[in-house]
Amino acid sequence: MADRYIYPALFHYEENQVGVTFPDLPGCVTVGKDETNAIKCAKEALGLHLYGMEVDGESIPAPSSIKSLPQKKGTICVLVDVWMPLIRASVKEYSVKKTLTIPAWMDRAAKEAGIKNYSLMLQVAIAQELGIDIKAETPSSHPDPTAA
């Protein structure tokens, strides 16, 4: 399994949208409302398609050379790359339930201070204890992995 994949995508310009296909990956298609959105959608489609192939144990083909792809009017070739560790983490990310006990005085003080989300407080405290910048390390707080 590679960490980074770069595949050529064909952007098909239509009236109010941009269709995207990946010649090397049949079935990996998407559409965007404009070029910027199409790139974002292409990254997402590519990442999820390759992740599915990895999980299913399918062989991932080598990407074609841009030169070998046919040039058609209204179509351009764009190289799309995905960073798979982020895709894998975002697909596998889930939460676990933990029961905790705190002193009654601490509960009262937290309520008086307006603290309601004990789960978030626990996450922040654990991250601090581990020396982790929670904003940089949690998949849900990363920039969109499919963003251009």
Tell me the per-residue pLDDT of 108-128, one tens digit each, with 9 for 90 and over: 988 888 877 788 788 888 878
> Which tens digit of pLDDT belongs to each residue from 57-87?
999 999 999 999 988 888 999 999 999 998 8
Distance CA 39, CA 18 (A): 9
4-91 sits in which CATH class? alpha beta
The owner of tokens 């959105």 is: 37
Report CA torsion sign: 132, 137, 138, 143.
Answer: positive
Distance CA 145, CA 90 (A): 9
Residue 141 one-letter amino acid: S
Query: What's the pTM value of the predicted model, to 2 decimals?
Result: 0.63
Helix (H, G, I), strand (E, B) or coil at 147: coil
Domain boundaries, the chain: 4-91, 94-141
> Which tens digit of pLDDT belongs to each residue from 8-29?
999 999 889 999 999 999 999 9
Say yes or no to pLDDT of 93 above 70: no
